[in-house]
Amino acid sequence: MSNGSFDELFSAAARDELRDALAERDGPITLPQLRRLAEHAESLRPELQPLRLGIVRSYTSELLDPWLSLEGALNGLQLHTYHAPYGCIIQEAEEGSGLLGHGPDVTLLMLERSDLHPALSEPIGSYSFEQQRVLHSEVIERLFDIVRRFRRHDIGYIVLTLLPSMHRPGLGMYDAQSDRSASAWWAGLKAEIARAMREDVPASFFLDLDLLLEQVGRTNFFDWRLWYSARYPFSAEAARGLARHVASVGVALKLPKAKVIAVDADNTLWGGIIGEDGINGIALGPDYPGNAYVDFQRRLLEYRQRGFILVLCSKNNPRDVQEVLREHPHQLIREHHFAAMRVNWLPKPDNLVSLANELNLGLESFIVVDDSDYECAGLRHSLPQVEVVRTPGKPILVARCLEQVARLETLAVTAEDVAKTELYAQERERLERKQEIEQSGGDLRAYLTSLDMRMRVGFDDERHARRLAQLTQKTNQFNLTTRRYDEQRIRDFIDAPDWLVAHFSLQDIFGDSGVVGLALLRRVRADAVDVDTFLMSCRVIGREAEGAFLHCLLRRLFEQGVWEITAEYLPTEKNVLAADFLVQQGFDREDGGRHRIDLRESSPRPESEFPIAVEVAPSDRGD
Amino acid sequence: MNVFHQLQDAIAGTLNVPVESVSESTKDEDLPAWDSLGHVNLMMTLEQTFDVSLDVDDFTRLTSVPAILAYLKEHGVE
């Protein structure tokens, strides 16, 4: 793809024009190109409407941002996106969470199937029919516990997604026919999820990513390299599709509803020009290219069935068009399908104004489809509130030309739905006032306890030297001092008698997270220790593991006669998360980021204060 | 435009940094925006800009301008 044709995109003077041009262009878009396009779309009139989006996720989502910006901008929205800390799901439904602070219009839950239940780590096909039935109920219960926690808050429209299976079902191509079919189980589960969302959770929507997978194809949906290296699953195509869906939800909430589809006739409903080619000369029928137009008519009737109004607006002799509508054997859309018609030689903008008056609807609710560049430009100029779609020149693209139009995605959201979320929030506030504030904290604690977390703490273990070095190099967020060490330095610390290298791994009912935390401690005096490094992978944030680890170390040191612990917090752009950690654990803040605790006055907390069982591996060195 | 200048533009455009901050010796630690997410974005941009096909193993190696230039040279990008 030459740069020339890419740069042509920037001559588009309206967002719908840019969108049409992009749709007709093949080939991938690079990230810098994506940014330029988004900037261009943002610069066009009218001004963008803000959309506040909150993303709660168990896998990497930040790489979606450029796509969200582009699809948002193409649809007139400026996205303000908050990504919750990685892996923090229900923690974000608690008071004081970043999600609540962000005040989103739309909350997108990006969950994986394996998050829903520990038993899902085994293939579905390995369970008996009865076990599968029980699993279905338990998964629904767990999932809706999570969804309801979110719905208690005023966090806008909730969009729930489950990442599609990365692989074909365990039983392969015979899965569908098996009585333990995994795909049947998931189909049943998704149907139940959709029903429950519809009936029990106001202002919510289950966005079935399997539909996107079907559109894109499994091999094109996932980018395995990105998944295995960065835990981000999406190919560019999938990311774009997902961003488009999210933008559609925003459009439904923020922009005037589309109600009317106003179509041209020539080269839109049929190939050719009726006035010149005659009823037998236009392309409309079972052969190419007529069959492409028949398909488009079928799609238009589907939109009508969904509740959109069809009107005809064509520069033609009325009798010519009438002949096709009444007599042509392959014409699917008949006169009675149109709520109104303007077939004449008047300027299109005038006709549209007249149609709007007749239907008693605003022009901002109109989507106009016309094949002529000239007419489209004229409309964009005189009636900027109308959304204009230029019918593609290639017949094979015509039937799908309305799929880009976000406002044609219907969403069962009404003012009542959104008001209901406020009611929910008020109801909850009322209940809360009656109960202890600890109640909601206890709720989270109950959840954490249900994870059955076990921490293994080890000391001076050179088998982990490489992993620990890697942790110092890659951990940016929960890192008090951000000191980077290579493997040799870690080994040196392990060997040094005045340094202690402590690490931990965390297991829960879902599995083992591996070695995720590190503390480097230096003995300054017989009774004093300085904390050079204290960090934890973002994989396990939000579970009190950092506190459990620290107090395990403090208890141990105190037993050995150490009472003075000093530590530092060195702020960086990325470690705001850890700013108050030391103070919360009982340290006193001093100058310049230094902290200190006297364990004789401020005892280390016992293991029972944390929802984690701690096991200390015996040390070879006896310290 | 020679390969280095193309690469400079690609890095600057992907990481949203001034072109001047990317020199022939720049490595990931030199730019805060070249963190793990920035790196993944950069790998995808390199593929599309230079029409090469990166393996996951290449991801971990190509963490500096010299390493990327060497890779591009090896793969016939002049």
Residues of chain B with Cβ-Cβ distance to A236 below 8 Å are 44
Tokens of A390: 């230029």
| pLDDT tens, residue by residue, A441-466 | 557 888 888 889 999 999 999 999 99
pLDDT at A525 over 90: yes
- Band of residue A142 on the pLDDT scale cut at 50, 70, 90: very high
3-state secondary structure of A417: helix
Residue A295: predicted pLDDT = 97
Q: What percent of chain A has pLDDT over 70?
A: 93
Count contacts between A and B (CB, < 8 Å): 47
Percent of chain A having pLDDT more than 90?
72
Which residue bears the tokens 């394996």?
A114
Are A46-254 and A260-411 equal in CATH topology?
yes
A26 near B CB under 8 A = no
If you average pLDDT over residues A525-535, what whole number do you get?
97
Residue of B15, B44, B54, B59 to mutate when probing chain A, most A C-beta within 10 A: B44
CATH superfamily of A260-411: HAD superfamily/HAD-like (3.40.50.1000)
Q: Where are the domains of chain B?
A: 3-74
Rounded to an integer, the average pLDDT of A78-98 is: 94
Could you tell me the two tokens for A459?
Answer: 């000391």
Mutation for A interface: B6, B30, B56, B62, most A CBs within 10 A = B56
Amino acid, single-letter form, for residue A343: V
The predicted pLDDT at position A438 comes to 45
Nearest-Cα distance to chain B for A236, in Å, is 9
CB A258 within 8 A of CB A405: yes
Query: Is the pLDDT reported for residue A4 higher than 90?
Result: no
Closest chain B residue by Cα to residue A30: B45
Encode pLDDT of A7-57 as tens digits. 888 888 888 889 888 887 767 787 888 888 999 999 998 889 999 999 999
Which chain A residue is nearest to residue B56, measuring alpha carbons? Answer: A225
pLDDT digits (tens, 9 = 90+) for A362-417: 999 999 999 999 999 999 989 989 999 999 999 999 999 998 888 888 665 554 55
Total-model pTM? 0.80
How much is the average pLDDT of A144-169? 92
What is the phi-psi region of residue A272: left when phi exceeds 0, alpha when psi lies from -120 to 50, beta otherwise? left
Q: Give the pLDDT score at A28.
A: 75
A393 touches chain B (CB under 8 A): no
CATH class of A46-254: alpha beta
Q: Is the CB of B40 less than 8 angstroms away from the CB of A28?
A: no
Residue A5: its H or E element? helix A3-8
Tens of pLDDT, residues B6-65: 999 999 999 989 999 999 999 998 998 998 889 998 998 898 889 898 988 898 899 999
Q: Look at strands A511-525 and A564-568 and give their pairing.
A: unpaired
pLDDT digits (tens, 9 = 90+) for A542-556: 899 999 999 999 999
Q: Give residue-wise pLDDT tens across range A298-320.
A: 999 999 988 899 999 999 999 99
- Asked if pLDDT for residue A427 goes beyond 70, the answer is no
* pLDDT for the residue numbered A191: 96
Rg value, chain B, Cα: 11
State how far the Cα of A162 lies from the Cα of A187, in Å rounded to an integer. 12
> What DSSP state is assigned to residue A384?
T
- A528-536 and A564-568 strand pairing: parallel
The 3 state secondary structure assigned to A53-98 is EEEEECCCCHHHHHHHHHHHHHCCEEEEEEECCCCCCHHHHCCCCH
> Which single residue is written with the structure tokens 């530590």?
A567
Classified by CATH at the fold level, domain A452-616 comes out as: Aminopeptidase (3.40.630)
Opening angle at CA A602, ends A597 and A608, nearest 5: 115
Taking 70 as the threshold, does the pLDDT of residue A511 lie above it?
yes
B2 touches chain A (CB under 8 A): no
Winning range, highest mean pLDDT, from A233-237, A418-422, B47-51: A233-237
Does the structure show a pLDDT above 50 at A263? yes
Three-state DSSP state, A147: helix
Contact residues on chain B for A31, CB-CB shorter than 8 A: 13-14, 41, 44-45
Select the residue from B19, B41, B46 to test the A interface by mutation, using most A Cβ atoms within 10 A: B41
CB contact under 8 A, B59 and A573: no
- Chain B residues whose CB is inside 8 A of the A28 CB are 48
- Contact check, Cβ <8 Å, B40/A63: yes
C-alpha of A400 from chain center: 25
- Smallest Cβ–Cβ distance between B49 and the set A30, A225, A228 belongs to A30
**H or E stretch including A432?**
helix A415-434
Does A62 touch chain B if contact means CB atoms closer than 8 Å? yes
pLDDT > 90? residue A257: no
Domain spans, chain A: 46-254, 260-411, 452-616
Between A411 and A621, name the one with better pLDDT: A411
- A161 class by beta-carbon count within 10 Å (0-12 exposed, 13-18 middle, 19+ buried): buried
Name the class of domain B3-74.
Answer: mainly alpha
